[in-house]
Amino acid sequence: MDRNPYTPPEASVAVNEQLRPANRPPEVKKAIQLLWGSLAIGPINLALDWSHLSGLMPMSNVLITLGLTVALFGWLTAKIGVGRNWARVTFLVLMVLGLPFTALMLVATLKRTPAEGVLQIVQALMQIYSLYLLFAVPGKSWFQRRKEIGT
């Protein structure tokens, strides 16, 4: 019987096990969980500080800023989760650049709304620890191996 010309060509596809996110070290998995958890704290902080923020600027600006921040950090977290080294480095750079600003705001927040200040500390510690997990061995080795493979 003749072959249907519309049938896609057959090809053997080998899956390189090193490319699968499921092979992430437990430390990288933990770091990703911590990053998602810290991201979830943002809207809670917004709710705790709603009255203060609404007095500073229109709430539409606050919500747009929060939405963009959540989108950016969510996207970076997702990319880190699939082994993109550039996302890991970008997250580190953003954290380092944001630390002085965060420290200044934290003092004022603790005075104004202690619960939010404590959540901000927890959020920062989650992010710092996740960066440690991502840049220490075996997390670091996993990203380097993926980079050498070309992903």
Distance in angstroms (rounded) separating the CA atoms of residues 54 and 62: 8
Question: pLDDT class for 16, splitting at 50, 70, 90?
Answer: very low
Q: How far is CA 66 from CA 50, 79, 110, 111, in A?
A: 12, 20, 20, 22
Domain boundaries, the chain: 26-149
Q: How far is CA 103 from CA 13, 93, 99, 107, 120, in A?
A: 51, 16, 6, 7, 10
Per-residue model confidence as pLDDT tens digits over 119-143: 999 999 999 999 999 999 999 999 8
Per-residue model confidence as pLDDT tens digits over 57-85: 888 888 898 889 999 999 999 999 999 99
If DSSP codes are grouped into helix, strand and coil, which group holds residue 98? helix
92: tokens are 């580190």
What pTM does this model have? 0.78
